[in-house]
Each structure stands twice: as structure tokens, then as C-alpha cells.
Amino acid sequence: MFWQPLFWGLLIPCLIVLGILYGTTRKVYKLFYVLSLFVYVISVAYIIDVFDLGRNWILGLLVFSAVLMILIAAWLSRKGKERPKRKAASSTKRHLWILLVLLAVMLILIVVSSLDVGVTREVSVVSSLQRSSLIVPLSNGEPYQLSPVPVANYSYANSFFLPVVAQDQYFLACWYDTKTQTASTEQLQTLVNGQYNEYRVANEPLAEVPPGAFLKLAVTVTGTSYAQPKGTVPASAYDRYDAIVLASLRDRSYVDCSNLPAMKDDTSKVSSYAIIPLK
Amino acid sequence: MAFRLEQILYTLGGLFAAAAIIYFAWEYLVLLPRIIKAALLVLLMGVFFFLGRHFQERDV
């Protein structure tokens, strides 16, 4: 993901250029031209990066950008020389119309892609888990190795004409005490389709379902182990937990396990919440 | 004095607008599909360009 460092790396010089340009010329329009160029560079970087384009596409995009910039420069210099003053008013009106159309298209795109139309989501969570599969006592010197345990499947079918981002982006599993209805501060390791949750989330793109496609997110968790007799974590530390809580969150914001029960009803953040008893 | 107050208000307005755009992008746009984000970026470039043209015509 190089577009984010590039964005922040170019933003500071861009702000400096904007400040100098406005300080020396006092013309607002020049600032918008610079902003337009900045957004173009970021757009090209974003497209190359997140769509993981091949070398032919990258080369094509770079050549296209070069030709586009040269043509616009030539057009602007010709317009600057030819433009009669009396036509300025109608030209301004035309630019305002183009602006309105562009803003309307942006708004329509945002609204249409935010509608959860044509998407079927199914969530299946296991009814219970074996305690011994998650909390394993090890004898001294035994290698630390626990197997991931399947806990849930999230499936999406998209019949919409646009790609859809899955609601469930980040999975969090915590030890849970049903009597006090509190969760541990410690988090169980979560894997999504065999990848570390943190790894998957840190690397965009977010889970997307292409038009007409089906996506399945299989979630597994890995518990903990304690060494005997000189364990650093005593076995009794887990005695009070009689369940695990599994939540899927809509975005990548970090949520502490102990805060999870309090925010379970906040559907803007938590898209599913399940308590799985340990037997 | 009036000129300075005007400048301060314009700057504050610009800062609030930038904050609103950043917050909107952070909370809402981040959850849109990649193709929509790419299209929005290209359209935003057009918006800035034509705003520049508009202000240039008005010699602002």
C-alpha cells in the first residue's frame, strides 16, 4: 500500500505550495488548479495500488496521464490567448453547470453504493465450543501449539451491479463471563479465511463482493495454553470465563475487548455479536 | 480591520469545510467499494479543476 505514504508525503509540500502561491499572487483559482493536480496524482497512485494493476496497465496509465497533462496545458494556453472578454459570463455559467453535474454524479455514486440492495448476508455461528480446545494445559517444555477452532461463517451473495463491501470487516473474540456479563481484556487470536485478522485488515482492500459473486468469510479462533508447573499464566485465570464473545465490526477502528459488551447494540459499529458457551 | 476579520472568517470556514470532508471520508467513504472511491477521486479532480476555471473567469 504505497498510496497512503505518497498522499501524506505530497500533502505537506502541496500545502506549502498553496501557501506560497496565495501569498504571492492572491489568486484563489491557482490554488484550485494545484489541488486538482494533487488529487489527480493521488487518484493515479490509488488506482495502481488498490487494483494491483499489471505493468502494461501501469505503463498505459502513466502515458495517458502524460498525454492528458500536455493536452490540457496546450488547451489552456490556447484558450487564454483566444478568449474574448465578453464571453466570460457565459463561460462562467457553463463551468458552474459542469460543477453541478460533477457534484450530482458524486452524490448519486455515494448514495447508490451505500444502499444495501441486492446483497444477501448469512451468518452462522457455532452453538458451543469445547473448553479443552481453547484452553490447553501443557507440560513443561512442550511446544506451544494450538489449533484454530472454527467458530463462524459469514457469507455474502451480491446480485447488485456494483461491488459491495462486506459489513463484517474486523473480527474480535474475547473471553466472556456470563454471570457478570463482562469480557476479558485479553483477546483470542482470530483468523479470517486462514489469514490473520490484523494482517487482512491492515492491508486494504476491505473485503469486497464483486457484482454477481459470492464471498465466504470463515472465522476461526485460537485459544490459549498455560505451562505447568512453572506457567506464567495460572490455569485459574480462565476459570471464571464460561463463554467467548465473537463480534464483527464494520470498520477497522480498534476496540478493546472489555468495551465490547457495552457497545454490542451500537449497530453503526458492531454488525454482529454472539456469545458462544464453553462446555 | 474589517478586511482582517473577513480573512479570519474565510480561513475558519475553509478549515471547518476541510474537517467536514476529512471526517466524512474517514467515517463513510472508507466503507465504499474501491471502484467508487477511484471514481470519486477522479470526479473530485474535475470539481477542483472547474472551480479553478470558474474563479479564473471571475478573476478571483
CB distance A165–B32 less than 8 Å? yes
Gyration radius of chain A's alpha carbons = 27
pLDDT at A230: 52
Closest-CA residue in chain B for A25?
Answer: B60
Question: Which one of B15, B28, B36 would you mutate to disrupt binding with A, by most A Cβ within 10 Å of its Cβ?
Answer: B36
Confidence label for A258 from pLDDT (cuts 50, 70 and 90): confident
Mean pLDDT of chain B: 86
Question: For the segment A180-238, what is each residue's pLDDT rounded down to a tens digit?
Answer: 999 988 888 888 888 877 655 444 556 788 899 999 999 999 887 765 555 555 656 77
Question: For the segment A99-143, what is each residue's pLDDT rounded down to a tens digit?
Answer: 999 999 999 999 998 887 888 999 999 999 998 888 877 666 666
CA dihedral A135, A137, A141, A146 (to 10 degrees): -30
Q: Is B2 contained in some domain?
A: no
Q: For chains A and B, what is the number of CB pairs under 8 angstroms?
A: 108
| ipTM for the complex shown | 0.83
Q: How close B7 gets to chain A, by Cα (Å)?
A: 12
Q: Is B30 contained in some domain?
A: yes
Cβ neighbours of A43 in B, within 8 Å: 38, 41-42, 45
Taking the CB of residue B30, how many other CB atoms lie within 10 A of it? 15
Of A95, A208, A250, the CB nearest to B33: A208
Residue ranges of A 45-64 with Cβ closer than 8 A to chain B? 46-47, 50-51
Higher pLDDT, B1 or B34: B34
Q: Is B13 contained in some domain?
A: no
pLDDT at A13: 93
Q: Is B11 contained in some domain?
A: no
Q: Is A130 touching B (CB cutoff 8 A)? A: no
Q: Is B9 contained in some domain?
A: no
Confidence label for A3 from pLDDT (cuts 50, 70 and 90): confident
Cell of B38: 477511484
pLDDT at residue A42 greater than cutoff 90: yes
Rounded Cα distance, A165 and A177, in Å? 33
Q: How close B1 gets to chain A, by Cα (Å)?
A: 18
Structural domain including B37 reads 21-60
Question: Which one of A102, A158, A203 would you mutate to disrupt binding with B, by most B Cβ within 10 Å of its Cβ?
Answer: A102
- Per the structure, the count of domains in chain B is 1
Higher pLDDT, A71 or A268: A71
Ranges of each domain in chain A: 3-82, 119-277
Q: How far is CA B7 from CA A111, A205, A206, A216, B1, in A?
A: 35, 41, 41, 54, 10
Question: Which one of B28, B32, B58, B60 would you mutate to disrupt binding with A, by most A Cβ within 10 Å of its Cβ?
Answer: B32
Mean pLDDT, rounded, for A74-90: 70
Q: Is B51 touching A (CB cutoff 8 A)? A: yes
Q: Is B53 touching A (CB cutoff 8 A)? A: yes
Rounded Cα distance, A184 and A175, in Å? 5
Is the separation of the CB atoms in A148 and A191 below 8 Å? yes
Helix-helix angle A28-50:A55-82, to 10 degrees: 160
Question: Which one of B37, B59, B60 would you mutate to disrupt binding with A, by most A Cβ within 10 Å of its Cβ?
Answer: B37
Mean pLDDT, rounded, for A67-81: 84
Rounded Cα distance, A26 and A28, in Å? 7
The structure's pTM equals: 0.77
Q: How close A57 gets to chain B, by Cα (Å)?
A: 15
Of B39, B43, B60, the CB nearest to A29: B60
Question: For the segment A144-193, what is each residue's pLDDT rounded down to a tens digit?
Answer: 677 899 999 999 999 998 888 888 888 889 999 999 999 988 888 888 88
pLDDT at A142: 65
Question: For the segment A61-70, what is each residue's pLDDT rounded down to a tens digit?
Answer: 999 999 999 9
